[in-house]
Structure 1
Amino acid sequence: MLGSIWQYVYTSFLRYWLKWLVRQATGTCELQRICSGCKPGATRTARAEYSLQSSKNKVLRGALETSKDGLEKCVDQIMKEKNIKPQKDPLFKGSLHVCLLQITGYSSLYSSVEDLRKEVFSSDNPEHEAMLLKLWDLLMPTVELESRVTKQWGDIGFQGDDPKTDFRGMGLLGLINLVFFSENYSAEARQVLSHANHPKLGYSYAIVGINLTEMAYSLLKSGALKPHFYNSVQGAPELRDFHQLYCYLAYEFDRFWVAEEPESIMHFNQYRERFHSLVRARLQEPDVSLALTVASR
């Protein structure tokens, strides 16, 4: 209760006057101090984002919803509003522009990921079908698929004879992530598949992969992935960056699963939550970057 009262008093009254006093003392606004005092990355961009969100100025708050094409003009407007002279602070404009690219790019990335998640896999769509067959060829290059509907799909971890039913939760996003990992990290994907087919420690490769897509999606939606993207992408994160994050999760989950040696697949949810907690803990680190340590093809 007291914490909520203090937060209200601070954000509504004290923060404004503290900012005013510091500006009088330093001759710089809060955004200038953030951009000059923090190195590029999550700390600087997150602090800039909070400053813009908390501002009473409509121009500053509106910057968070600006399109990529309008960012340069938006930065100029902010500099005008805060009376920031380029001659006195020549690095400010570029620094704030990068922060806004990352902030607005994250929102744009979420929209793109959400569109793929909502796109239903359709057997009538030739592109969808080609992608599914490509997944088989990437993971099982020496084994010919007998037919489109076959029990062979179980060899790469699908539940039934027709994989289309397994994409209901994550839509096309789940398939795209599986293909991206298999295409860009072929040796690693096949290694993970071999672990998944282990007689004792095995798990359903494709189903777990779709489950990890859901984990990546939920982390993105909650904003938990902001530190990772703000540190690893010096600009607007794109779909490829999200797929790369999935590759990290797929590879690291396999390492985690093998190291833990679960008694059976029946304990999957328990170990999945433990892995999820480890990832969220890593995302609390200021310099976090969840990059796969092997080189992509």
Structure 2
Amino acid sequence: MSSSTLRRRLYHGDVDGRRNEQMDSSSADGLDEPLLGSYGDRSKEYDSRDEEDWDFRKKEEQQQWTFLFSTLIAQWAQWFANILTESGSVVGRLLTFSSQSPIYLSPLQEERLSTLKERLQVPFDGSRVDHQDGLRQLWRLAFPDTTIPPLKSEAWKEMGWQGTDPSTDFRGGGYISLENLIYFAQNYPESFQKLLLKQEGTRAEWEYPFAVAGINISFMLIQMLDLQSTGMPSSQAGTRFLELLAEDENAFDKLYCVAFQLMDAQWLVKRASYMEFNEVLKSTRTQLERELALEDVTHVRDLPSYTILYR
């Protein structure tokens, strides 16, 4: 069997970075031990609670989420503002590792990196018609059989926005966060729906809100890949990502889909709840960094975690 058919597989212990990789010579079409395996029926009702107590706990959950994400996004808003002030910088041709060994980028890599950075510089603006249309497009993809609600409506909470106006959840987040969600829904609709509707595994009593989690994943990837730097990415993950970008102009959006699916897989394995979201996001980043460091990864589809995505 050729070495190209050997694929590294993620097992349950690998999800949180606590075990070494294991090698599996099976085909690349699926996992022998799926991360998103049978975790039980989420339709099981919880212990008896009267309606008043349930309403109180739901309000408490919303307050906890608002505090958690407000803190995270406030920090990212300042970071994003720094990008905008430095947007006039010229993309350099040399990329230097910690070893100071220069790496030359091809014109194609430079062009694609420049295009990606331009996307990062576009803040979400709820007053822009094209951004409003983006939200409507996302709704059509998420709930194709329902009427698109007004841009301010309680219905948006069903998608995992914190309030009635999705535009307030972007805060310092850019339009790329919405583009990532749209790309996910268009290209991996089965995974998108399973995560949106929380259809896999035994879920926590208090789940992460889907849409807001998606915004956080976009930011996590931007930081991990060092895309906020004024020149070329200097992190190991960032430099490896440039190789993926040379092969696929949609590498960032595809990596986002992998990251979202992997985050949910870790969420289930850790049996996490909303207060542990940041911890799960960190372990997701660690796993992605490990996979990007693998020598045989030349395309997003070569990542071991790519095999847990559904189309």
Fold shared, TM-score > 0.5 on shorter chain: yes
Whether the aligned pair in 2 keeps the contact of 1:117 and 1:174 (CA below 8 Å) is no
- Alignment match of 1:141 (pick from 132, 139, 144): 144
The answer on 1:175 being equivalent to 2:175 is no
CA shift, 1:225, in A, is 3.4
The answer on 1:293 being equivalent to 2:307 is yes
Unaligned stretches of 5+ in structure 2?
A: 1-93, 227-232
The answer on 1:160 being equivalent to 2:163 is yes
Whether the aligned pair in 2 keeps the contact of 1:195 and 1:254 (CA below 8 Å) is no
In structure 2, what is the equivalent of residue 251 of structure 1?
Answer: 261
- 1:162-189 CA-partner distances (Å, limit 9, x unpaired): 1112223331010000000011111110
Unaligned stretches of 5+ in structure 1?
A: 1-47, 56-60, 65-99
In the alignment, the residues of structure 2 paired with residue 257 and residue 187 of structure 1 have an alpha-carbon distance, to the nearest angstrom, of 18
Whether the aligned pair in 2 keeps the contact of 1:167 and 1:210 (CA below 8 Å) is yes
In the alignment, the residues of structure 1 paired with residue 116 and residue 173 of structure 2 have an alpha-carbon distance, to the nearest angstrom, of 10
Whether the aligned pair in 2 keeps the contact of 1:182 and 1:189 (CA below 8 Å) is yes
CA shift, 1:146, in A, is 3.5
In the alignment, the residues of structure 2 paired with residue 168 and residue 196 of structure 1 have an alpha-carbon distance, to the nearest angstrom, of 29
In structure 2, what is the equivalent of residue 58 of structure 1?
Answer: none
- Amino acid aligned to 1:133: R
State percent identity of aligned pairs.
26
Query: Scaled by the length of structure 1, what TM-score is found?
Result: 0.59
How many equivalent pairs are there? 202
In structure 1, what is the equivalent of residue 224 of structure 2?
Answer: 219
- Amino acid aligned to 1:249: A
In the alignment, the residues of structure 2 paired with residue 150 and residue 215 of structure 1 have an alpha-carbon distance, to the nearest angstrom, of 28
Whether the aligned pair in 1 keeps the contact of 2:124 and 2:173 (CA below 8 Å) is no
Decide which structure has the larger Cα Rg and report it: 1
In structure 2, what is the equivalent of residue 269 of structure 1?
Answer: 278
- Amino acid aligned to 1:227: R
Say which structure, 1 or 2, has more relative contact order (CA 8 Å, 6+ apart).
2
The answer on 1:117 being equivalent to 2:117 is no
Q: CA RMSD in A?
A: 3.0
**What's the secondary structure of 2:162's corresponding residue?**
coil
- CA, structure 1 residues 188+296, in 2 after alignment: closer, same or farther (shift >3 Å)? closer
- CA, structure 1 residues 237+106, in 2 after alignment: closer, same or farther (shift >3 Å)? farther
CA shift, 1:158, in A, is 0.8
Query: Scaled by the length of structure 2, what TM-score is found?
Result: 0.57
Normalized per residue, the structure richer in helix is 1
The answer on 1:260 being equivalent to 2:273 is no
Whether the aligned pair in 1 keeps the contact of 2:151 and 2:166 (CA below 8 Å) is no
